[in-house]
Structures are given as C-alpha cells and as structure tokens.
Structure 1
C-alpha cells in the first residue's frame, strides 16, 4: 500500500512537560486508525502536527505529493453569515451538487432535519458541528482527520457516520485518523489503533476490543504491576465475554484466547446483591410516571409540540435503564420530569418517600459555585471517607481513581478541562448519597480509560440508574435494558437494545411501518409491540439481500468447518513454538530453520483460513 503521510522523530514539549518524544509513525492507503489515550496525553497535539497545523520542536512530517487532507477540529471556522447550504457546498448550483450521490448522502445523513437556508450564526453548537462535518465529508480528500466527530451526534447519526466512513473508499484507498471516546465507533470503523501514552505512540492491529486484549496480554507478558489499570482492562474484557450483541461474531479460537486472560475475573456487577441493597435504600416505590402528557412551545409562535402523550413509565429499585432517541424527542426533558423540575400537563408523577435524585447535566454548571476552590477542597467538603465497591477510600484516593493525580488535585476548579469538570461533578453526585442517579450524556469529553473507571465505579453503585447517551458501548456496559424516544410522544422498550432502535428508526423513516402497536410502558404490551414490528421488518430485509437460505446454511457449515481448522492451526502453532525453543537450546540450527519455514507456511494458511471464515460469516449473517 502506498504511503500517504509520515512523521519522523517528532517531539514537542510544553514548558517542562514532554508530550511527544522521538515519535516516528505513518499513515498508508487503506489505514483506518483510531487515536486513543488519556486526556492530556497528546492525541489532539499529534493530530495537529500530522495535519501541519502545528510545528513540532523536533523532527519533521512529510506528505506524498498530490495528497489532499481534510481536518475536522473541535472548533469550526464556519462563516456565521453563510447559509448552511453555502457552508457545505459553496457557490455550486443546486443541480450541480444534487447530482452527486455522495453529497446527497452527506446532506441527508447529517443535515436532514435542518433548514439549509438558515445562516450559520443562528445555529446551535451541535448544528454547527454537523455542518462543519458535512462540509468536510462533501469533499474528496485522500486523507481525513476527525477530532471527536461523534460529539453532538445522536445514536442514529453515529451509526450513519460509521457506515459512511466504512464505504467512502475502497478497502485499499484513502486514509482515516480519528480521535474519539466512542468505543463502539472505534470497533466499527477502525482497523488499527494508536495509543498515545508516556510521550510515545504505540500501534496495535484492530479496533477498541482488540486494543484492550492486546494491552492485557502486553502487561501480563511484561509482568507490569499496574493494579488499577490492569483491573480496568480485565473488567472490560470480562464484559466482552459476557455478551454485547455487536461482539458475538468473534471466532471461538479468539474468544478462548480472551477467556484465558480473564478466567479469574468476576462478573462486572453482582446484580442480586445490588438489587437487595437498592431495595433496602429505596423501598418498593421509586419513580413512576402515570398517564403523563407534556408539551413544549414551538418557537416563533408556532403553537406547541407534544413530547409525551399519555405515557406511563415505572422505575424499580436498582433498575439500570438507558435512554436513546432522536434529537429533540425529549430525553433531557424526561429526566427533568423524573427529577421533579417540570410539572406535566396531565397525569401524575409518584415519588417514593426515601427517593433522593441527582442529575449530571451536559453543561456541568453546578460547579460554578465552587470554581474558586481547588479539586481536593471540593471533595473534602463532601466528606472524609467514602465507600466504593465495599472499600473505604479517602477523598484523595477517590480522586486518584478517576484520574486526578496528586498535582491535579490542587488545581482550581476554574482551570479544569471539560472532561475533568465532568469527572469531578460525577464524583460529587455519587458521594452525595443519592439513590436515583441520572446521567445526561456522561461520556462527553472523557477519554476511554476514564470512561472505564467511571463504569467501574457505577458497577458497585447500589441505586436506580438512568443514562441518556449516544454511546452504545456505555449503554450496553452499565445498563440492563434500554428505552427509545422516537419523537412520536411515546416511550418504547427495546428488548433488542440499540440495534433494535436503529431498526425502528429505519422503519419509521421508510413510512412508519416498523411499529407494532402504541404501548407506552417498559413492560407488558408496550414492549411487545415494537419487538414484533422489528422482527417482521428484519425478515423482509433478509429476503431481499440477494442471498438464499440455502446459501446461508452452506455458509454456516463452511464457517463451522473453518473454525475447527483454525483451532487446529492454533494448536500446531503452539507446538511449533515449543519445538523451536527446544531446537534453539540444543543448537540444532538446521532443524530450527526448517521449523521456522513450517511456521511461516502455517501463518500463511492461517491468514487465508481467517479470511475465508470472515467471508463465510458475512454470507451467513445475510
């Protein structure tokens, strides 16, 4: 594959802190790279240097002649006087850009619900972000850099962006480098991962899940004593083993390798114990919405719009529920109704006598009142000792657990980054002894390691949890079931998780034929209706994919046969390694060379079998 861009021995420091030191790395055609690392480790700095937006202190960056590069920064440079259409396609006439299927797809996928004649200056932050992303994707750059592209996108928007990036180029063309905290997106789009840590960049093959497994194996092989970091990695892998639907297609020989690493790791949550503790703290009644209707005024005197129409929702002690939905469907409003901040137009909200709610809002304005204090002083106000996961922790230990090192604990709140502010406010909420915790887009501005630490804390938190998020990984990780707000005034249960939500949205866009009833509860007939509708839509789609049932059955048999072959090859590979170690110790270099040739041949046959297995799996899944 042709080389697109490379960095040679680049280094950069800010004050006394070295961010990157003698880093050499490159992007080739066909690369789809996810850039990961803790906040402040230099991900965005590396991206700016590679893009030519910032000069390194040492080293150089080279780009192949004629290669075009498009960059999405966290801050856009849109002209506030431009209309949305002009910002995206410039002065091109409508018939010119409308005849381009790629531009039509981008405009529809990102700006479908937006008036293209509006000026950029009147847009919200999220709408500006979508417009800037649409402008970049409407171009034909050979290489694209994206810095947090999923911020301000809902679940449907993230799924569209992932599909667009997977099909934008042929497999051996183009290049993508993306910084994101969305772990589902990393797994879905990226084929390589760069981890930025300790002033260096370490490359791995595969997306987020493969990177997590590689980290665990690397740490174990090197006998690195990193207790907290190691446990977080293992808990993530334990969840992967437990069964997120999007990750169950891994071949058995790879699952066995992961299980060997995490055989002694318990389940992420002890659901029975947590349920007992939650019931003891909350009693039998928590929060109930009964026949609630709520409307909001439409701007410019357009009357009102009904967000919830005669809906019923009951939260049980210890229930962990995730909420997904289209923008403007009322996700944040639902939280405020549950919290008692809003009064419904009709119906009633029942609240248990012992219920204490807490909300993590998107803007974290709650910290404004303590902005003059240091981080350690803020936590000291909350108490001298906190119990997390059955252990007593001091304020400093708790801060350390969520990434506030000794030096950062004495930073004024006013000087914290967005991600640090969210971490601090979440800690304040959790130690404030609420028994109903509501999180509104908690993943914004948090790196993947911090997200794992947050999930680790939530695993041991005994209470009712409500999470609004577009982060599929987080929802599947910390909640036990999900609800959907589709903008039609109803609340629907999602037995099939986020994947079912996307199917419902696709059916809704196709004409509303995907709903099987109008139930509003989280159980009973309300949950059954949508599930039935999705099932029928799925059968129809399967019949139109061009693959017959006979071909699918044959592909499943072929995949099963290939799995057995791959398992046998894995055993042969281990035996060859043992034999080569023995021959090397005995000094029999002739036999060692012969064994090495056999190993190389085995690797080639194994690669071919893996490719055949993947192709058979795609046909079998239809």
Structure 2
C-alpha cells in the first residue's frame, strides 16, 4: 500500500542542482534511511516531504488521511514555553486529552526530568531531545526525523532503536549513526549528484548493493568504450555508400560518443598531516573537578601515550566535555595538575563550530589558519585542500552563511586539520558529519601520527577508531576498558557488588590471582592469527582477479563482489583481534618480567 509518492521532484539553489527529476514510492512498513554527502540535499528532501519547503517541479502526493510529524535538524521553540506543555501542544490521546503520561515517559527516557523547566533554559542538546519527544508523542502515520541521534547518549539510542522498531507507521530519517541505520531501516535512499538511488536493505546490505551497482556501471562503461573503439575504426575507414546500414552505424557511433559514463564518486580526501610529537605528551595527575555539589571528575590520573586512541563515553552532563577542556587547557581542574609536553600541538574539534562569522568567505576562513600545509605528497594550498573537502572553486568564494549545517562542520574539521596538530581532540565529531566524511575521517585517523581522544555517542565510530575506552560511571569515577565500544559492552557495565556475607569461612578463602593472562581460547587464537590473516589476504587477491576476469558476467560479478565484501569484513575483524591479542601479550610479558 502506497503511503506517499514523490513524483519527478526537481530543485535548485542558485546554480546548484539539488534534485534532478527524482521520484520515490513509500509503502506501508517502510523505514527509510536517507544518505548522501553533506550539502547534497538530505534535509531539503525531508523538508519537501514534510511540506516545509516546495520543489521547483514535481509534487509529493500523500494517501488520504495520512498524518505526518517532522523533526527538523534545527527546531525552533516558542518563547517562554515550559517543557511539558511544549511537548504535548496540539497532541491528543484516544480520549481527547493531552497525552501527559506518554510525554513524561518519553522525556524521562531522553534524559529530561524537570517537566516544568522553561525550554529557553535548556542546553542545545536538551532542546533537540525535547523536540524529538514532541515528535514521538502521539506519533503520526509518517515520522520524518532529521538527525534524531544527535545529542542522545548510548542508552537513549538503544531505547530509540527499540521504539522505532516497534513503530507501525512509516519512518523517513537522516542519521549518521551506522549501527542505528543497520538495526532500524529496511530501505536506503541515497542522494548522489542530484539523483536518488534506492536499495531494499539496511545499511550493511546497502554497502554491498552499492558496490555491486558501481561495479556493474564500470563494466557497462568498459563495454561501451570497446564498442566505441570498434565504431571509430569503421568511421575512420569511411563508408563507401550512403545506404541505410551505413547511416545506422554512423548514428550508433554518435549515440555511443554522446553517452555519459559513470561519474567519478566524489569523496573527501585527507592526507596525514601533523607535527612531530616528542616523548613527553600530556599527563593528568590526580585531577578533580566539581560544579557545586556535583562531582564530575574525582582524583583521575592518566599519562597519554604517543599512539593512544581513546574513546570517552558516559551519559549527557557527566563531564566528558569538561575533561576535554581540562586536557586542552581551556579549563583548570579544581585540584591536581595537567602537565603538557613542549612539542604538543592540540587540534580541538568542539561540539559547536567556533568563529564562523556568516560574512566570511570560505577560502578566507581556512587561510586564517594557513595558506599552505605540508603533506607526505608535498605542499598543498588552502584552495587545494578545500577542493579535497568537496568545496569547489566557486563555493570557496561564497560566504559561510550560504553553507548547510553539515558543510560548516566539514569546513570546521578542515580548519582544525590545517593547523597540523599532533593531538586531536574530537568532541562529538559525528554530529552533523555525513557518513562518507566519517568513513574518510576514520581512515585518516588510522594513519595519523599522534594521539586521538574522541568523545562520542556513536558506537560504530568508537568501535572503528578507539583502542581504549574511558567510561564515566558516576560520582566522578572514570574507569578504563581495553578495546572499542563493543568490547566495553562485553566487559559489562559495572554491576552492584554483592553484599558481603556476615561470616567468612577462613579455611576456604583464597586470594584471587589478578594478573593478566590469556584464556585457553585466546592462547590458541594468538598462535594461529597471523596465518589466518595471510590466508584471508590471499583469498581477497584471488577473488579480485576473478572479478576482473568476469567483469561482463553480471551474475557472477555480483556473487564475487559479495564474497569479497565478506572476506574484507572478516579481515578487518581479524586485524582488530590481532591488535588486541598482541597488546595483551605485551602486557602479560611486562608483568612477568
């Protein structure tokens, strides 16, 4: 059953084409994730569907009686409204009353418990969560959500996943959270160069299907080029007559010549840039910080290692950003000491964009940091770096006010990197960055010669980049876990300690051995993992060769593409285990020496 149809939508802003004759049918039960590089029109598409913006051409047609609810990326709030009245305004339960109980439940799940607080007094993140609660209360037939996972912590994300999985209506959303996309959506709509591609799958399936589509497009292009060469040779020889066959071949040549091949996929490009980091990095010695009676950080000590990849997690308001500000020298601890090495150069990517005056041109915003930057490939100008970050020459001379929210975040990230830091502090880097840019950032961090600290609620991002997790666990306590976010979950959130027994049998008491050691399974895995990795690499090379040999056999090519994707996923998992096991082996050896 069709809930709504998007029919032949076109939209331009100035000389930029956002949508070019785009259509999409939305059916009952569809849960659609909208993807695309920042600035390609994801938020615009949602606004058009929600009726907040009009298309230049085409229309959106809803089924009879269909109700929609829209969460914009940057909601607007009435002056002086109280939280509960704002959330329930215009909403009614089956008895015609305001759904106060439902609103309170959802607000509590989203970490807002003072229902009589003025919306004006809420933080930016709390305001977005209040707007999300308003959208979810008395839900409509179609939920349209723009970045619902921004400003929610991991527990809230899990609750929202469950809520949306149980939701019976249609969901259309933009989010950067790849685990969230994978677990909630059943269809992906990708905006690319003004076109819309749909995939009947969640995020994992989309990655495989997109790879398959691009491989097939390249195979088709190779075939077209081959035919074009054949026709060109015939044209050069010149037809002896002007019969029907000769004219048909000339027409065919012109048609092949004028066909467009697949466009090269545009992605952000990053070279590893930075300055040398000496032996002395940043040392935190018994630091503490409190606001009033609320103790955020209590007696915390840690010395950052030169290749540390640290993920910082915890509920909203627990002190994560406070810790980052103390590390970067923007805030002093109440007690304790922060010692920073002479060679340390910090790049701080804050939650909110800094110093982005609307009248400044894009190129001047970057040149304010540096005209040139040294990369492994040589010197690169600010303009060239902007092009690598998908800011075309014409865009570089436009004011910042013309950029989308996501484009501003991408530009801000470039400004941080242009300063060539050797310690990168990323405070919620995934907010408003598109998935394509996040993937490139993750790849960049793999080769970054320095320290990375990331505060994030993005579970996928933390799994991808973190080698150690610091979790805020209440009362100012910060606990260390080895591995990424999933490893932290496996280690288990701290459970309540069992109450001690009144009597202890002294004869049966034995001191627990707290030294690190391999389990039997880990020992076996450690001994064989190098050979496992080598075998997987050989298989990937073999499958790649088969793909080249079967480039024109679409069915076989699709099978091989899927096989290669699975092998690469297995290899990534093995490499992550290799890092973990070798790190553990070093620690075991050091404690035994």
TM over 0.5: yes
Contact 1:22–1:200 (8 Å) recurs in 2: yes
Match of residue 293 from structure 1: 288
Q: Check if 1:141 corresponds to 2:128.
A: no
| 35-44 or 453-462: bigger deviation | 453-462
The C-alpha deviation readout for 1:192-249, integer Å capped at 9, x for no partner, is 10011222211012233322332222222212776674898xxxxxxxxxxxxxxxxx
Contact 1:507–1:514 (8 Å) recurs in 2: no
Alignment of 1:506-517 (within 5 A): 512=496
The C-alpha deviation readout for 1:565-587, integer Å capped at 9, x for no partner, is xxxxxxxxx9xxx9xx89xxxxx
Contact 1:289–1:313 (8 Å) recurs in 2: yes
Shift of the 342–15 alpha-carbon distance from structure 1 to 2, 3 Å rule, reads closer
Match of residue 17 from structure 1: 16
Q: Check if 1:332 corresponds to 2:331.
A: no
Shift of the 37–402 alpha-carbon distance from structure 1 to 2, 3 Å rule, reads same
- Correspondent of 1:463 among 450, 457, 460: 450
- Correspondent of 2:407 among 397, 402, 420: 420
Shift of the 314–97 alpha-carbon distance from structure 1 to 2, 3 Å rule, reads farther
The alignment partner of 2:352 has SS state of coil
Give 1:151 shift: 1.9
Alignment of 1:38-53 (within 5 A): 38-53=37-52
Match of residue 118 from structure 1: 117
Contact 1:216–1:230 (8 Å) recurs in 2: no
Contact 1:12–1:57 (8 Å) recurs in 2: yes
Match of residue 341 from structure 2: 352
Match of residue 204 from structure 1: 199
Measure the CA separation in 2 of the matches of 1:507 and 1:405: 49
RMSD: 3.8
- Correspondent of 2:433 among 439, 446, 465: 446
Match of residue 71 from structure 1: 70
Shift of the 177–288 alpha-carbon distance from structure 1 to 2, 3 Å rule, reads same
Contact 1:402–1:454 (8 Å) recurs in 2: no
Q: Check if 1:307 corresponds to 2:302.
A: no
The alignment partner of 1:133 has SS state of helix
Contact 2:468–2:481 (8 Å) recurs in 1: yes
Q: Check if 1:399 corresponds to 2:386.
A: yes
- Count, aligned residues: 466
Q: Check if 1:475 corresponds to 2:468.
A: no
Give ranges in structure 1 of 5+ residues lacking alignment. Answer: 233-267, 298-303, 516-527, 530-573, 583-595, 604-622
The C-alpha deviation readout for 1:341-399, integer Å capped at 9, x for no partner, is 2222222222223222221222222445xx65533344445445434465653333321
The alignment partner of 2:276 has SS state of helix
Shift of the 168–488 alpha-carbon distance from structure 1 to 2, 3 Å rule, reads farther
Greater helix fraction, Structure 1 or Structure 2: 1
Measure the CA separation in 2 of the matches of 1:503 and 1:117: 38
Q: Check if 1:362 corresponds to 2:351.
A: yes
Give 1:59 shift: 2.3
Measure the CA separation in 1 of the matches of 2:408 and 2:328: 22
Alignment of 1:529-568 (within 5 A): none
The alignment partner of 2:8 has SS state of strand
Contact 2:39–2:406 (8 Å) recurs in 1: no
Measure the CA separation in 2 of the matches of 1:165 and 1:391: 49
The C-alpha deviation readout for 1:300-328, integer Å capped at 9, x for no partner, is xxxx3211111112210021111111111
Measure the CA separation in 2 of the matches of 1:372 and 1:63: 40
The alignment partner of 2:157 has SS state of helix
Match of residue 191 from structure 1: 186
Shift of the 458–294 alpha-carbon distance from structure 1 to 2, 3 Å rule, reads same
Measure the CA separation in 1 of the matches of 2:367 and 2:391: 14
Q: Check if 1:181 corresponds to 2:176.
A: yes
User: TM-score, normalized by length of structure 2?
Assistant: 0.70
Match of residue 575 from structure 2: none
Match of residue 54 from structure 2: 55
Give ranges in structure 2 of 5+ residues lacking alignment. Answer: 219-260, 500-513, 516-545, 560-593
Measure the CA separation in 2 of the matches of 1:208 and 1:305: 40
Measure the CA separation in 1 of the matches of 2:193 and 2:29: 28
Q: Check if 1:3 corresponds to 2:5.
A: no
Shift of the 154–220 alpha-carbon distance from structure 1 to 2, 3 Å rule, reads same
Measure the CA separation in 1 of the matches of 2:346 and 2:284: 15
Give 1:28 shift: 0.7
Give 1:20 shift: 1.9
Contact 2:467–2:484 (8 Å) recurs in 1: no
